[in-house]
Amino acid sequence: MSLFEGRDLVCLRGGRAVFSGLSFGLPAGGAMLLTGPNGSGKSSLLRLLAGLIRPAGGELLWDGAPVLGALDEHRERVAFLGHLDAVKPVLTLRENLAFWAGLGGAASARIEAALARFSLTDLAEVPARLLSAGQKRRLALARLPLTAAPLWLLDEPTVGLDRASATALAEAIAAHRAQGGRVIVATHQVLELAEAQTLSLGDYPGEGVLLEYVW
């Protein structure tokens, strides 16, 4: 079975182990919800899984191959959405999506579909600087279906969304999974994902872990 795996992962932040001994296995088409209180390491874990920071211990594997041995290749398979929406304020919504679609090779029909999915069609020619916080978040989410990345890593994606937009996100995730994509979501809010695993960061405390770590 094809797996994205973490084995006994340890993460350091500010010289302190945030979590340790963390393991998981996510198959193609799978979803995983990260839970835990603020400060438990959900955002740090997502950054580690994206290849943006290195684990202080343990292994990260894609189909049995070490991720750290091919970081550039791994980053190409990741679509990461953090707390910042990263939209270009001087471009219209359609231009923002066209930019990202150009990176991912998506056709213009898919851009229109992405606008429609997140109820942004009527705002397509509006400069992004004029959007509300919720509209910017919907625009950031609309980029996801335009990428060819098989792994979506989403950090609190429902913040600022109304119920209809959260439903649209869940539908986009379901479509991605139906094509064999994987999704890992850190959230404090309810997001209905069928047959999703749950990984509680509170089960992997880092307190008391002493490490000598050399970059």
Domain ranges of the chain: 1-77+149-215, 86-148
Taking the C-alpha atoms of residue 58 and residue 119, their distance in angstroms, rounded to an integer, is 42
- For the stretch 38-77, pLDDT in tens is 888 899 999 999 999 999 999 999 999 999 989 999 999 9
Confidence of residue 1 (pLDDT cuts 50, 70, 90): low
Question: What pTM does this model have?
Answer: 0.90
- For the stretch 103-142, pLDDT in tens is 655 578 889 999 999 999 999 999 999 999 999 999 999 9
Taking the C-alpha atoms of residue 200 and residue 21, their distance in angstroms, rounded to an integer, is 12
Could you tell me the CA-to-CA distances from 197 to 2, 35, 69 in Å, in that order? 16, 11, 27
Q: What is residue 72's DSSP assignment? A: H
Phi and psi torsions of 149, nearest 5°: -65, 130
Domain 1-77+149-215, CATH:
3.40.50.300
